[in-house]
Amino acid sequence: MNPGSGTLIINIMSEGKAETYEGVYQCTARNERGAAISNNIVVRPSRSPLWTKEKLEPIILQNGQHLVLSCRPPIGLPPPIIFWMDNSFQRLPQSERVSQGLNGDLYFSNVLPEDTREDYICYARFNHTQTIQQKQPISVKVISVDELNDTIAADLSDTEFYGAKPSRERPPTFLTPEGNSSNKEELRGNVLSLECIAEGLPTPIIHWIKEDGTLPINRTFYKNFRKTLQIIHVSEADSGKYQCIAKNALGVIHHTISVTVKAAPYWIVAPRNLVLSPGEDGSLICRPNGNPKPKISWLTNGVPIEIAPDDPSRKIDGDTIIFSNVQERSSAVYQCNASNEYGYLLANAFVNVLAEPPRILTSADTLYQVIANRPALLDCAFFGSPLPTIEWFKGAKGSALREDIYVLHENGTLEIPVAQKDSTGTYTCVARNKLGVAKNEVQLEIKDPTRIIKQPEYAVVQRGGTVSFECKVKHDHTLIPTVMWLKDNGELPDDGRFTVDKDHLVVADVGDDDGGTYTCVANTSLDSVSASAVLSVVDVPNPPFDLELTNHLDKSVQLSWTPGDDNNSPITKFIIEYEDSMHEAGLWHHQTEVSGIQTTAQLNLSPFVNYSFRVVAVNSIGRSVPSQVSEHYLTKAAEPDKNPTTVEGLGSEPDNLVITWKPLNGFESNGPGLQYKVSWRQKDGDDEWTSVVVANVSKYIVSGTPTFVPYLIKVQALNDVGFAPEPAVVTGHSGEDLPMVAPGNVHVNVVNSTLAEVHWDPVPLKSIRGHLQGYRIYYWKAQNLSKRSKRHIEKKILTFQGSKTHGMLPGLEPFSHYRVNVRVVNGKGEGPASPDKVFNTPEGVPSAPSSLKIVNPTLDSLTLEWEPPGHPNGILTEYTLKYQPINSTHELGPLVDLKIPANKTRWTLKNLNFSTRYKFYFYAQTAAGSGSQITEEGVTTVDEAMASRQVDIATQGWFIGLMCAVALLILILLIVCFIRRNKGGKYPVKEKEDAHADPEIQPMKEDDGTFGEYSDAEDHKPLKKGSRTPSDRTVKKEDSDDSLVDYGEGVNGQFNEDGSFIGQYSGKKEKEPAEGNESSEAPSPVNAMNSFV
């Protein structure tokens, strides 16, 4: 026996034979409080006896008879496992016809010649001793009727007669069990095995039913080709009658097995330890069950209770011992023994009579941390006698917790079914009995649950790509989470392609093996959450394989193939391509397409083609690489089934007809020796068809044809086998020649100064001698009416398609002399020109004068010089000059209008204001109207005496100081005006403009660019404010529309002796024209000086 233990060790290897220790053992444990005993332990040595020597005669039987080969192994402990093998240790094949029974025998429902062998050997394996015993081989010979008769006749004398009859088909008969019924007992909880083996010819089939009931679905199994019915974990409810049915074509038989389920004793209520305090009452219950009903016996400290010392506090009532007013001497260990013929039960129960005040076994100030919205269990393990009562309190002054909100378990545990944040706090457990009180405090903290706020999502990625799964976790700030990733509930592969950072798992260079379920697991010390996503790795399909050609016909063949792996993206279609190695080797063509569920296709073929095929699979990702090429298939030659296309007949010369066509390619030739039969005849004549056979070309020229005659043409393909179908007839024409006649009755209608319309009569179709392309107009300017042109005459050409008989000539120059003629055009070229027609264009408005400049400025005059318009477009009648002053605020003054004779190129304006800028508008006129204008600006000079006086004063110190003060005042005034303007008030200049608004101002006419009307030459109305330029004929900015800033360094500026500039300009852009009643005088330093003197 081991020291400090009740374990008994028997070493049979060194301490004698195992049989020496065979017997029944029981352990007893004893102290001053009583004795407990164990169940009986039976020790038996294992046995594997040898097979009894026996001589086995060979078995000879007729084909179709039944046979049972007995095994009858030696009885061992535990029983051996039986199996049949041959001399080569190969298991003998079993079937519905041949099978091994539960007793180990080998059953043949009927024998066949292939059952003949000399090595039917039964083996018994004793697992406990790890030995195998072998029976003597059994020889079986199955012979036919003729062989059997020959064998018997050889052993008989001539006077004896014997004849064996062949085995006929027969209805089933049971080999085991025998008879129509049998009985079977099985213990509760074991496996019930029922067996029926039948013989017959043909081999019977076995079925099982339960009379007046059904077989339990989840506990029923069929073994040995349905010859054995097994029900696991049987109970009393499985008792009843079971029927096996054997059936073949000649009949049906039944066998009924009555099953009774017995039961060794098992507990309904086992006795439990009992703790009582002196004077208390209690009971021990020992309630077993079994079949047959177990017998109960009680023991005290291992001694039958009938002979144990008497205890007045106990009373036996069948399966119960009742204790009343116990005392400490009543403490003992009681044993309950329940037994029947199939086994027994033994249970120890300690009745402990003691007086103990309450003790709380749970550690003080235990901290419980619980996730919100989950149950919280606060332990309060206690001990005491009598049994203490338990109460729970929350906080220092809380009342007892009630069971309507909390759950109080018998073991003292307090359960909060759904813990919330306000459940946090201190809880006190109080244990009371009549001997005292015990308390214990525990702490409860409620934590926020860990959540995955961004879960990984289902992903589809192509092989070789990169995929990223996101897993963002939110947790209680006092807990430290750990995040790990799993693949298919296992660890991630140890591969550098997998990268894990705080919130992401990245898989690079994805392969097929990477597909699966990826799970993000977030753990804290209190909870764990997870989220999963599936990764599907897709790619273009693998190429199809095993291409095979079948059903070879002249013009069709069937192609079949085996699809490759679709790589997780279903194949949507298959594309079949072909190569013609005879005509276009190495070039693959599209043959057809079939759906992704087909694996065969019937292909239409052309004659005389050496076909080979390949198949391409397509899914949503793309196309697979092509499959391996199929075998070659050469189709038979045939006549062409189509003719050349694009047949045309056009002449290249006036006396020929060129017939062209698009030839057939080698694939379309359908056979060797491709040629073309070209046929033609005049469309409007009675001639027969003229035909010629040419080689595989695309053109044939017919010579000696009349000019531009319609021909009927056809081109037919043929090869060594025959002709193609009759071709379609097309119409062509022989060659064209130049037209012979010019258009007649040409006349011109002048629409305006730049546009004219030409009319003519059409040319007769016969004289065109070709396809009418249209009419072509030649026109040119002979001379300008105002002056003769010395330049080269440039003819212009306009072509009008089709049979039009009129056309417009745009872009003519006004006041010009033109000539025009018309010619007809066909595919060959132009015909003769019509006689020239002459017409004149009327006058138009002139262009702007070529230049305008200001010369010789003085105090009160300016001289203007100009060059006439480059395109007068008529006879100039006069020039118009308009001008107006520009004041210091860049506003325009009153406008002056002046007419100048057309023969002038210079004009001087007098009586102008000194030191004043003027703006000029200048344009020419013809009888047709005013032309475009040109603008310019000029400045009159300053008087030298005034300028000198200005210099003297300007050098005085008092004048400089005064001017500084004025500048300061102006600055302050500007700031005030700016503030008032931002507030919406009117500033002085604005008020002045509003006060002097002239309601009679006439705007420019925007449609024709002329000025608004004026009353007369004396009463000039100024231009309306808002338009600095009085006409939209203003020249471009690079001409003369310069701002005043540009004149700061201009040649017209006047300087004093000290080099200071006389004219004072602000440098701002030009203002709008001034009102008529405002001053147009430009300020000068002299004026400023006089105002202060």
Per-residue pLDDT tens over the stretch 714-770: 999 999 999 999 999 999 999 999 999 999 999 999 999 899 999 999 999 889 999
User: What SS3 string covers 361-411?
Assistant: CCCCCEEEEEECCCCEEECCCEEEECCCEEEEEECCCCCECCCCCCEECCC
Crossing angle of the two packed helices 944-954 and 1085-1092, in degrees rounded to 10: 60
Residue 545 tokens read as 């394989």
Residue 251 clears pLDDT 60, i.e. is over it? yes
Q: Report long-range pairs for 795-801 (Cβ below 8 Å, ≥24 apart).
A: 799/774, 799/775, 799/825, 800/774, 800/775, 800/776, 801/773, 801/774
| Lowest mean per-residue pLDDT among 49-53, 442-446, 948-952 | 948-952
Residue 162 clears pLDDT 70, i.e. is over it? no
Over range 536-548, report the average pLDDT: 94
Residue partners of 634: CB distance under 8 A and separation at least 6? 582, 609, 610, 611
* Model pLDDT, residue 149: 62
Locus of tokens 């040898």: 50
Looking at the DSSP bridge assignments, the partners of residue 756 are 750, 809
| Entry pTM | 0.45
Query: What's the full length of the chain, in residues?
Result: 1093
pLDDT over 70, % of the chain: 85
Residue partners of 179: CB distance under 8 A and separation at least 6? 255
Query: How far apart are alpha carbons 196 and 175 in whole angstroms?
Result: 8
Contact 461, 535 (CB under 8 A): yes
Over range 1086-1092, report the average pLDDT: 34
DSSP 629-642: P---EEPPP---SS
Q: How many CB atoms lie within 10 A of CB 1073?
A: 27
pLDDT-derived band at 51 (thresholds 50, 70, 90) equals confident
Contact 382, 431 (CB under 8 A): yes
* Model pLDDT, residue 955: 59
Over range 853-866, report the average pLDDT: 92
**For 62, what's the count of Cα atoms within 13 Å in the CB-facing half-sphere?**
16
Contact 881, 921 (CB under 8 A): yes
The per-residue pLDDT for range 891-927, each reduced to its tens digit, is 888 999 999 999 999 999 998 988 899 999 999 999 8
Query: How far apart are alpha carbons 56 and 136 in whole angstroms?
Result: 7
808-823 b/e (C-beta count within 10 Å ≥ 16 → b): ebeebebbbbbebbbb
pLDDT-derived band at 146 (thresholds 50, 70, 90) equals low
Over range 313-336, report the average pLDDT: 90
Q: Tell me the longest C-alpha to C-alpha distance in the chain.
A: 187
pLDDT over 90, % of the chain: 62
Over range 685-693, report the average pLDDT: 90
* Model pLDDT, residue 1091: 35
The per-residue pLDDT for range 838-847, each reduced to its tens digit, is 999 999 999 9
Residue 1008 clears pLDDT 80, i.e. is over it? no
| 699, amino acid identity | K
* Residue 470 φ/ψ, nearest 5 degrees: -105, 140
| Lowest mean per-residue pLDDT among 73-77, 99-103, 454-458, 781-785 | 781-785
- The residue ranking higher by pLDDT, 375 or 1085, is 375
Query: How far apart are alpha carbons 1033 and 856 in whole angstroms?
Result: 27
Residue 1002 clears pLDDT 60, i.e. is over it? no
The per-residue pLDDT for range 4-24, each reduced to its tens digit, is 778 888 877 776 677 778 888
| Lowest mean per-residue pLDDT among 124-138, 186-200, 343-357 | 124-138
Query: How far apart are alpha carbons 291 and 236 in whole angstroms?
Result: 9
* Model pLDDT, residue 132: 85
* Model pLDDT, residue 148: 61
Residue 430 clears pLDDT 80, i.e. is over it? yes
Sign of CA dihedral 831, 837, 842, 847: positive
* Model pLDDT, residue 152: 57
* Model pLDDT, residue 18: 75
CA neighbor of 1052 nearest in space, from 1039, 1061, 1040: 1061
Residue 675 clears pLDDT 70, i.e. is over it? yes
DSSP 603-629: EE--SS-EEEEEEEEEESS-BPPPPPP
pLDDT-derived band at 339 (thresholds 50, 70, 90) equals very high
pLDDT-derived band at 785 (thresholds 50, 70, 90) equals low
Residue 994 clears pLDDT 60, i.e. is over it? no
Residue 234 clears pLDDT 90, i.e. is over it? yes
Residue 1081 clears pLDDT 50, i.e. is over it? no
Residue 1039 tokens read as 């001409």
Mean of the per-residue pLDDT values of the chain: 84
Query: How far apart are alpha carbons 967 and 480 in whole angstroms?
Result: 76
Looking at the DSSP bridge assignments, the partners of residue 939 are 917
Residue 546 tokens read as 């095993």
Over range 772-801, report the average pLDDT: 80
Residue partners of 306: CB distance under 8 A and separation at least 6? none
* Model pLDDT, residue 49: 79
* Model pLDDT, residue 1031: 37
Contact 550, 531 (CB under 8 A): no
Over range 982-998, report the average pLDDT: 44
1060: Cα separation from own chain's centroid = 80
Residue 1013 clears pLDDT 50, i.e. is over it? no
* Model pLDDT, residue 154: 56
